Structure 1
């Protein structure tokens, strides 16, 4: 077997292997050659070559999102690791384990004007859970130097073990900065080091008795309780707890599309429910106790409402962190939702006489009825396209949603409960949705479809620049010739300034990109051609496919804004 000659490179590779880091995304370079040699010559690792580091970061994030284990990204020195930053930030706020392995020059070559050097130490600041700078191997054979090398080896092993443990058990990105001196390409047939893997023992936290008793007392006394659920992995919450919650008429459960939680009695289209409410209804809607769990919330409307009419208490259940999103947080329960519900729900008294859930269920049904009526009246537009596209997705698909207007439209429609839904809502950027979706598709045995906007797709078009896209991968681009979200937001419209600097009007298409990267391409611009294209879109013909849907940008905002008035 072939190994890099440099002991530090051997140590990194062997500890990644020992601790189960299997997927390694490598961006080409010279300074990271020792790591590339090590990873690519060991059949244990699944290695992927992606030139664009920004895309490589999101590709890895999509993988880690699915396997819930650290995925490694490997780059050369200089600006390369700065291009990882958007994906690192997304991983940090979405609790996704990423292992960043950045090669660096020796310290004596930093800050002297040498090429391809920047200050790489701690470059990700507060957006990683751990940042460590490994130490350069001593190459001399003098006895005193050999003794010093033992200390260097021990330091490096400790840092690598700790970084991978933190990424895995605290679920987030970590950064190892790794200096290598030349020569970089030397290879050997035997290892010169035998690093030891250090396992981490984690004891699950338990809720203290007095805290649990206080929660139960307050919950049983309240007549209006709301559970708000952000992003979750599919099947993360045991169904028996969801069934138990559904039987309490004093509790309403608001779920987002990314929550991957389904129950007939839950409220799955939050904006549809609350956007048309009067001030009096908004105040009546707000609960005495708000219990939240899961990731960050998409719905801006529920955030505005709960900030204006604050619940008397807000509890957040999360083993890692709790954001005071509504400026009323008074309990952080550092448990998983399943742990909390197991201790909490058996002691809860259902309030069958409460009219809270009954009232809002009646309103929900009216909204749903009006929703269907509205769809029959509107012209071809973004709104109508989303209704047709979401209904077309086959059973048991993975749906990756782009950000901005894409995820907001998606939240207005009922979701097939067999689908698994994901979106990069940690930082809510448009920059890596395509690369994330492809990374997801590569590691799953389920077909994946990405629904995205035109600006997001064009911005991330380098994501298609790789040889790893599965044949059953699908992309649907809603092309309204610009940033349609800005037409929905308050502010002046239909001016040259708006068209150029906010909406960013364009006449670009995905056709040439598909030809260049080998995707089968289809364009539609009417309801009839859309439905016809969707009939065969998901059939696997041996090539990934992209369907570009052109909508009239001049009416999309009007159709959406009129919707909330119509369903009132």
Structure 2
């Protein structure tokens, strides 16, 4: 076995191995040579080489998203480390475990004008679970810091940073280890539910209970729990496309349901108790609704964090949804109420108007989503970029066998494609990425990747700019708007596809879409279909959609 000669590098690598941290994404550099040599020379590690550090970090995050265990990132000193920051922030808010390992120069070389040198210690301090600032020599103190960092990533689900200073020479190797690092077991503190009597009494007397499920991993909540919630006439369960929860008596497509509400409707739908589950909520409308029409109680169920998203949080149950509901629901009784039936009647009416409107619209972003979502392969994974794509996806039903993911931690457009590529590799499932043009071109280095699976496909909806700005209040047809907000462009993905070896398909109307999507779906290698939609009418089609959802108000 080949090991780096530097003892600190040996300690880091051996502790990673002991912690079953086997996936390592490495970006090239010289200062991190001891780590690169050590990880890449050890068959217990799966090493991936990604040149662009920003892409490397999102690639690692996509892998960790699927594996639900830490993936390591290794980079050289200087600005390389800063390029990890967007993915670190996303991992922090999405509770995805990452272990960032940065090589650094010794402290004596910092701030003296040495090349490729910045202040790396605590660089992520606002968006990190733990920062391990190591000293240059191997020591028990360093070992304990490394252990604590990796254990925090495992237990608390999030990013940690280990900064390791190395002095030259950097490339020397040995055949035997010179260290026996300390390894500290990872101790998970399982939280227990306290006495639930007060909450049971509140639940049993409330006639309107709303369950809101945000970003959630597939199969996270038992079917028996979902069925029990669905059978309570006083409970309405609202899901988002990223919740990966499906039930015929739940309410998906939240914006479709509540956007046309009047003040009277909102008051009728206002819950007495809100129970939120999972991560970030996509719908701005549901957030605005609950912030204005607050429930008496807001309980959040999550093993780690509880954001006071609606300004009315009263209780955080620090357990998993299954632990909470399996105990809680055994103590409560269904409550007579018309709350669920009112919501189901509204759902049926909105669905009727939804289908009626779609028959009238021209080729547009909305028409594309209507057509492509039913064409997605069953038992596949769908990754969606932020901005318009995730919002359009919220308006449509997606087959329950399809797992849906989106980087909603910071909701940025950066790194969406790279995340999808890492997720596809880790999951092994056929994966489709639906993205807008600005997000795709922003992250075009994602395709500079040797690990793209053969069943990875990209649906690129190109409306020639940031179309979401056309539905926001600042929209005006001016040079300032087109240049600085919408960022209008005439780019296509055709030559990128050719350069990176993707099959390429394109279409610009509904009949072409039907033909090209069939060939795209049948392709047996990485593929891109670029769908060109008309910039000028997309926003009006969407805005008119919400105006056409109402026939008669059911709250009278």
Find the aligned partners of 1:202 and 1:41 in 2 and give their Cα distance: 32
CA contact (8 A) 2:406 2:416 kept: yes
Could you tell me how far apart the structure 2 residues matched to 1:493 and 1:342 are? Answer: 52
- Equivalence for 1:41: 41
- Mapped to 2, the partners of 1:432 and 1:366 lie a distance apart of 38
Match of 2:228 among 216, 238, 244: 244
Shift of 1:319: 1.6
Offset from partner CA, 1:463-493 (integer Å, 9 cap, x none): 1111110111000010000000000111242
Question: What's the CA shift for 1:369?
Answer: 1.1
Q: Which residue of 2 aligns with 1:558?
A: 540
Residue number among 197, 209, 216 corresponding to 1:225 in the alignment: 209
How far off is 1:293 after superposition? 0.9
> Which residue of 376, 383, 386 corresponds with 2:359?
376
- Structure 1 residues 143-162: aligned runs within 5 Å: 152-162=138-148
Q: Take 1:540 and 1:214, find their aligned partners in 2: how far apart are those partners?
A: 57
For residues 411 and 435 of structure 1, the distance between their equivalents in structure 2, rounded to whole angstroms, comes to: 22
How far apart are the structure 1 equivalents of 2:274 and 2:238? Answer: 11
State the match for 2:553 in structure 1: none
Judge conservation of contact 1:52–1:462 (CA < 8 Å) in 2: yes
5 Å matches for 1:192-203?
192-203=178-189
Q: Distance in 2 between matches of 1:450 and 1:403?
A: 11
- Kindly indicate whether the alpha-carbon contact (under 8 Å) linking 1:472 and 1:538 is maintained by their aligned counterparts in 2: no
Q: Does 1:295 align with 2:266?
A: no
Single out whichever of 196-205 and 388-397 deviates more from structure 2: 196-205
Q: CA deviation at 1:516?
A: 1.1
**SS at structure 1 position matched to 2:211:** strand
Deviations 1:146-200 (A, max 9, x none): xxxxxx5101110111111110111000000000000000011111112232112
Match of 1:77 in 2: 77
Superposition map of 1:306-317 within 5 A: 306-317=290-301
Structure 1 partner of 2:466: 483
1:323 to 307, 321, 326: 307
Please give the secondary structure, in 2, of the residue aligned with 1:346.
Answer: coil
Q: Is residue 74–residue 100 contact of structure 2 (8 Å, CA) maintained in 1?
A: yes
Q: Following TM superposition, by how much is the alpha carbon of 1:536 offset from its aligned partner in structure 2, in angstroms? A: 2.4
* Deviation by residue 1:394-438 (Cα, 9 ceiling, x = unmatched): 110100000011100000001100000000000000001000000
The corresponding residue for 1:92 is: 92
Q: Mind listing any 5+ residue stretches in structure 2 that lack a counterpart?
A: 551-556
Cα displacement string for residues 515-549 of structure 1 (whole angstroms, at most 9, x for unaligned residues):
111111111101011111111222242x2000000
Equivalent residue number for residue 274 of structure 1? 258
Partner of 1:361: 344
Tell me by how many angstroms 1:312 deviates. 1.1
Correspondence for 2:554: none
> Matches of 1:55 and 1:40 in 2, distance apart?
20
Distance 2:438 2:167 in 1: 42
CA distance in 1, matches of 2:271, 2:346: 16
Structure-2 separation of matches of 1:203 and 1:112: 44
* Maintained 8 Å contact 1:397/1:446: yes
Contact 2:144 2:182 in 1 (8 A): no
Q: How does 1:440-455 map to 2 (within 5 A)?
A: 440-455=423-438
Q: How many angstroms apart in 2 are the aligned matches of 1:299 and 1:317?
A: 19
1:146 corresponding residue in structure 2: none
- The answer to whether the aligner puts 1:304 opposite 2:288 as a matched pair is yes
CA contact (8 A) 2:58 2:87 kept: yes
Distance in 2, matches of 1:475 and 1:558, equals 26
Q: In 2, Cα distance between the equivalents of 1:466 and 1:126?
A: 30
Look up the match of 1:17: 17
The reply to whether residue 389 of structure 1 matches residue 375 of structure 2 is: no
Query: 1:516 aligned to 2:502?
Result: no
Counterparts of 1:198-209 in structure 2 under 5 Å? 198-209=184-195
Judge conservation of contact 1:27–1:50 (CA < 8 Å) in 2: yes
Is 1:527 matched with 2:513?
Answer: no
Residue in structure 1 matched with residue 107 of structure 2 by the alignment: 107
TM-score (structure 2 length as normaliser): 0.98
Query: 8 Å contact 2:505–2:520 — kept in the other structure?
Result: no
Provide the rounded CA distance (Å) in 1 between the counterparts of 2:21 and 2:207: 48
1:140 aligned residue: none
Partner Cα distance (2:77, 2:190) in 1: 39
SS in 1 for 2:309: coil
Per-residue CA shift, 1:224-249, capped at 9, x if unaligned?
A: 00000011110011111001110001
2:400 to 417, 422, 431: 417
Higher deviation after alignment, 194-203 or 125-134: 194-203
- The runs of 4+ residues in structure 1 deviating greater than 6 Å are none
SS across alignment from 1:412: coil
Query: What's 1:26 paired with?
Result: 26
Residue 51 (1) aligns with residue 51 (2): yes
Counterpart mapping for 1:260-271 below 5 A: 260-271=244-255
1:184 aligns with 2:166: no
Q: Is the 8 A contact 1:315 1:331 kept in 2?
A: yes
Contact 2:239 2:254 in 1 (8 A): yes
